[in-house]
Amino acid sequence: MNSRVLAVNHGTTATKIAMYYDDKAIFTEIISHDPDKVVSFGDII
């Protein structure tokens, strides 16, 4: 069976993104967020 999964993990200082085809990761990316900018947003709901 051919499965495709897009996984997005939102963290405080980084967002991790991955694309899987069956059980193989075909794309991964880590996007870092500047902690000083994150703090400037205050509370996020």
Specify the pLDDT at position 3.
Answer: 94
Specify the pLDDT at position 39.
Answer: 84
Radius of gyration from C-alpha coordinates of the chain: 14
pLDDT in tens, 4-40: 999 999 988 899 999 999 999 999 999 999 988 888 8
Number of domains in the chain: 1
- Of the pLDDT bands very low, low, confident and very high (cuts 50, 70, 90), residue 45 is low
From the list 13, 7, 12, the residue with the least C-alpha distance to 29 is: 7
State the residue range of the domain holding 18.
4-34
Alpha-carbon distance 3 to 39, whole Å? 38
Asked whether residue 24 is assigned to any structural domain, the reply reads: yes
Asked whether residue 9 is assigned to any structural domain, the reply reads: yes
Specify the pLDDT at position 25.
Answer: 96
Asked whether residue 14 is assigned to any structural domain, the reply reads: yes
Cα 39 off chain centre by: 19
Asked whether residue 42 is assigned to any structural domain, the reply reads: no
